[in-house]
Structure 1
């Protein structure tokens, strides 16, 4: 069971789950089991609640001043049935049995009307101004609802205002076992007792016809002559209008009332009586607006979530109807970018007393990485602690994928270099390394039956990660494999970026050597190598690979001392007195990651 609370303001609503055997204190104190802090008419400890299997025992504590009202009567002790309410001060408490099920009346309705699409279009309202005024507040009502319970409460109250002949309104749900559940209901006069919707009517409207269905049992004078008239059919008429189907069941709006005269399907314009067709039309309009606004909210939430992973062009392709078939995994050519923070372990140790602060700084750094990945049309595939993974070439293949990955890498590099110039910046002591690789992979929704994420899988991902790790050894910020480097050399404009071949290496755990290159900013950027110096360095690399280490060492001396990459190559040369080993094959082998 559940206890729902409602105050005078929309934010004054709460939902408490009740389990049989519990004893709970209700009061205004924050320490109370059921805390109602907004109502000063409720004492700090006002009542003791004892949860029974199908009832709730309510006892007012002797220290309280204000009464507890059940159906308008002040009581100190009473048993509350599911569906009933009690009031303290300006707060209403309603007990709900979320697993309630109601059987249909024993007798068939005198008349059943199933309303076909557009059948009610010509029906005119005799109180149009009042109904329009109610509808005008409906979108705001839905958007302001904090949760489903709050929404149900608002909807039921609004329908009672808009359907003036209705005596009871409920939000109903048909679960997977075709049992009728009533998350919320309300009667115009609470003193009239409980409320039991017709399961037969709900089943017909929500599951079978999926249209508004009206049942009429009898008018009041006819009903008085029927000795076996059932309690379930306590109303003369009721109709149910489907709202929508969702993962939690099939929903509908249930409206019921009484007739003061024999029933007419359609009341002529200007005649007395109840025009049920107009009431059904109004309720269908409410259901349509509810469905549309909830669908819009759902789309906005989904789009906001997807926006963290996909660039705008991909979101546009997925469309407003979220055609996720495009996200199914498939093999394709991708360019993978792996970006990692430098010195994270050291920061974690030094910030052990402020891990939340460290998390905030890391999140800010990851935000820089992902924003540039998205800016250049990439997909954010994963986070691994202090590292971010981005990839291009999926869900749409593109010859520009390697170029866009490199543009993103250069933008990330530039962002961190600018931050380094600001000593007071929270990220000024962070450094980053980036590895980029191009090749075949499987990309899309990857995971288990319980959890999936959009990411990329294959050797190219491992290679990008290894290249990122090698940036520490080769002492450069961005490393590329040969496949990416060849594309960049021929297609990336030199005013955007350049390539510098660094070495042929065999990363730890891999079987095939890889020619690695550095992605450099354009020559126009301050404190970067000139084109002539890049050419000189690459000549040194070729001599190094061919075993001509003396010449390679000489060429390295023409490179500015500020360039750290030459330190790595010079170290390899000087280890053997500038003489290549007899078994030299041009490959530098790493015995660790």
Structure 2
């Protein structure tokens, strides 16, 4: 495992960060993950780094004021091997490729002290100088943190400051190896700031995390060489373990070890170490609480991308159950931007500005969905899928889908969308039916989305907005639901025909919204009936009298021309579509 260790040569400030292969990051005074706030000679963004699994690639950012020294010479870019270091200002950066020893079994301690966390909090410090100030400083620093790694760094450093005879401190996280629960070190610090911890006691960790108590072990001063273990080899003769619950239900533990405590006044060794347990528990509980809060804020931020505050108000404390996949009656909206692929090719030399422009347009769509209490289900390149009916029933906002669609149409296509000379900027398909919605995915990744027939149908219907030349289309199930609402005026929807869409076996009646009093729409409806009944000559006569900008008129005429305007004997009244 590779880590970057940063150390201020003028003070005790430092941090270490685990490196992820092929994941670039920025080093600087104000970067979120790798901040070097103590050194004013380091620019806000000073260097771009990437760990390739073997070496650390380092490149100075052109705007950075001060040089990067490697091998006592200023460098613009270079490769760093494990064990080597570079310097910016008065800060040294060391690349380490080491792994702390995993918890190991060993013999029983000379003394064991087990205390419940609530009992620790009720007791007073026997010796307080400096510790209250450190706890106050801890809270101030932690609440200002914006990153979980920063929280860990602060907690470990404050533990070393507050327990003078502590040599090493580790944060362990629980993981599952089959049915076996193991604890692995994910972060550590040492008194000298460089050394890798020598190990930890498996029995001590198991005792503390199983009992949910703070446990202290003290080993004999001079162990029998025949039974000596890593604790004495590492020069440690005491260790304590504080169980924690961090992030979201993540079991963890603080493991602190060191050399014999110096006796003061009439305090015994165990009494001094009990003071240390209290300090460690207070630091650990503060860290754990802020860690969970940060994780909840991050989850809330992620959920805000999919849900409106109104929907989030329904979320109980058991969010997993609330978001679990379940079958529901959904109304699904599928909206696709027009000309995205062609525009991407045209803007190959300016993809970032093109992306920003596309994002602005997509924001119009997502804002309309969220404003109507819908859920953002997925993004498919330049397309957005939203739905209603989960996690709350569609009866909570039965018109949300059509109101969101109409807002998008008015913004991107204009109100005269039935008969327009200007191509629409987006196409919208709406379908209703039973589907599964919730947190859906694989073992590695999950997301809030919907799965089922109305999702596929909404996508297919959206595809029909191109040949029909109308940006908003609905299926008959959606129209039936919407038209049954008391506030919906009669004849709100205009039927455009029966289609068997690509990849689907059942025919679909497709509708659009009647956007106003258009004199010739009844004539189109009459021509559609004649077309479906097989009276094509009469249908053609009526359709030819309609405006050429009306897309459904053109599609019907083109379809009949494909049969030389002669209705086939097998005609069922349904138009077959073989392409999406």
TM bucket (normalised to shorter chain) is 0.7 to 0.9
Which secondary structure does the structure 2 equivalent of 1:283 belong to? helix
Identify which of 185, 192, 195 aligns with 2:189: 185
Contact 1:482 1:514 in 2 (8 A): yes
Whole-Å Cα distance in 1 between the matches of residues 397 and 2 of structure 2?
54
Q: Give the structure 2 partner of residue 115 of structure 1.
A: 115
- Greater Rg, structure 1 or structure 2? 1
1:72-87 pair list within 5 angstroms: none
1:35-184 pair list within 5 angstroms: 43-46=69-72, 89-91=90-92, 93=94, 97-101=98-102, 108-125=108-125, 130-142=130-142, 150-163=150-163, 165-173=164-172, 178=182, 181=185, 183-184=187-188
Which secondary structure does the structure 2 equivalent of 1:502 belong to? strand
Contact 2:125 2:278 in 1 (8 A): no
* Pair 167,508 (structure 1): closer, same or farther in 2 beyond 3 Å: closer
Whole-Å Cα distance in 2 between the matches of residues 443 and 347 of structure 1?
33
Q: Give the structure 2 partner of residue 24 of structure 1.
A: none
Q: Does the alignment pair 1:385 with 2:374? A: no
Instruction: Give the stretch that moved more between structures: 30-39 or 364-373.
Output: 30-39
Q: Give the structure 2 partner of residue 211 of structure 1.
A: 213
Whole-Å Cα distance in 2 between the matches of residues 224 and 513 of structure 1?
86
Q: Give the structure 1 partner of residue 281 of structure 2.
A: 284
Identify which of 391, 413, 416 aligns with 2:412: 416
Identify which of 429, 438, 446 aligns with 2:432: 438
Q: Give the structure 2 partner of residue 476 of structure 1.
A: 470
Instruction: Give the stretch that moved more between structures: 135-144 or 472-481.
Output: 135-144
Contact 1:366 1:386 in 2 (8 A): yes
Whole-Å Cα distance in 2 between the matches of residues 331 and 59 of structure 1?
57
* Pair 582,168 (structure 1): closer, same or farther in 2 beyond 3 Å: closer
Contact 2:368 2:407 in 1 (8 A): yes
Which secondary structure does the structure 2 equivalent of 1:408 belong to? helix
Which secondary structure does the structure 2 equivalent of 1:442 belong to? strand
Whole-Å Cα distance in 2 between the matches of residues 137 and 429 of structure 1?
62
Q: Give the structure 2 partner of residue 199 of structure 1.
A: 201
Instruction: Give the stretch that moved more between structures: 115-124 or 407-416.
Output: 115-124
Contact 2:500 2:577 in 1 (8 A): yes
Whole-Å Cα distance in 1 between the matches of residues 537 and 367 of structure 2?
45
Contact 1:180 1:199 in 2 (8 A): no
What is the deviation of 1:478?
Answer: 0.6
User: Can you give the 5+ residue segments of structure 1 that lack an aligned partner in the other structure?
Assistant: 20-27, 61-65, 67-86, 268-272, 422-427, 522-528
Whole-Å Cα distance in 2 between the matches of residues 43 and 302 of structure 1?
40
Whole-Å Cα distance in 1 between the matches of residues 368 and 216 of structure 2?
57
* Pair 334,130 (structure 1): closer, same or farther in 2 beyond 3 Å: same
1:124-523 pair list within 5 angstroms: 124-125=124-125, 130-142=130-142, 150-163=150-163, 165-173=164-172, 178=182, 181=185, 183-187=187-191, 196=198, 199=201, 202-217=204-219, 223=221, 232-233=231-232, 234=235, 237-244=238-245, 250-254=252-256, 256=258, 258-261=260-263, 275-319=272-316, 321=317, 323-399=319-395, 403-417=399-413, 431-491=425-485, 493-494=487-488, 498-521=492-515
* Pair 544,298 (structure 1): closer, same or farther in 2 beyond 3 Å: same
Which secondary structure does the structure 1 equivalent of 2:460 belong to? helix
Contact 2:16 2:153 in 1 (8 A): no
User: Can you give the 5+ residue segments of structure 2 that lack an aligned partner in the other structure?
Assistant: 22-45, 50-54, 74-78, 176-180
Whole-Å Cα distance in 2 between the matches of residues 433 and 508 of structure 1?
17
Which secondary structure does the structure 2 equivalent of 1:450 belong to? coil
Spell out, residue by residue over 1:51-98, the C-alpha distance to the aligned partner (whole angstroms, 9 max, x if none). Answer: 5xxxx5x799xxxxx9xxxxxxxxxxxxxxxxxxxx995537585732
Instruction: Give the stretch that moved more between structures: 87-96 or 462-471.
Output: 87-96
Whole-Å Cα distance in 2 between the matches of residues 18 and 556 of structure 1?
64
Which secondary structure does the structure 2 equivalent of 1:136 belong to? helix
* Pair 568,194 (structure 1): closer, same or farther in 2 beyond 3 Å: closer
Contact 1:238 1:255 in 2 (8 A): yes
What is the deviation of 1:297?
Answer: 0.8
Whole-Å Cα distance in 2 between the matches of residues 377 and 150 of structure 1?
36
Spell out, residue by residue over 1:215-256, the C-alpha distance to the aligned partner (whole angstroms, 9 max, x if none). Answer: 3447xxxx5999999883445654332233679873214154
Which secondary structure does the structure 2 equivalent of 1:360 belong to? helix
Pairwise CA RMSD: 4.8
Spell out, residue by residue over 1:169-196, the C-alpha distance to the aligned partner (whole angstroms, 9 max, x if none). Answer: 5124266575774832322x789x8865
Aligned pairs, number: 528
Spell out, residue by residue over 1:3-27, the C-alpha distance to the aligned partner (whole angstroms, 9 max, x if none). Answer: 54224499985647699xxxxxxxx
Whole-Å Cα distance in 2 between the matches of residues 473 and 274 of structure 1?
83
Contact 2:168 2:197 in 1 (8 A): no
Whole-Å Cα distance in 2 between the matches of residues 225 and 505 of structure 1?
85
Spell out, residue by residue over 1:532-575, the C-alpha distance to the aligned partner (whole angstroms, 9 max, x if none). Answer: 66556545544544456677677768977765444445666788
TM-score, scaled to structure 1 = 0.72
Whole-Å Cα distance in 2 between the matches of residues 29 and 476 of structure 1?
51
Contact 1:175 1:181 in 2 (8 A): no
Contact 1:41 1:89 in 2 (8 A): no
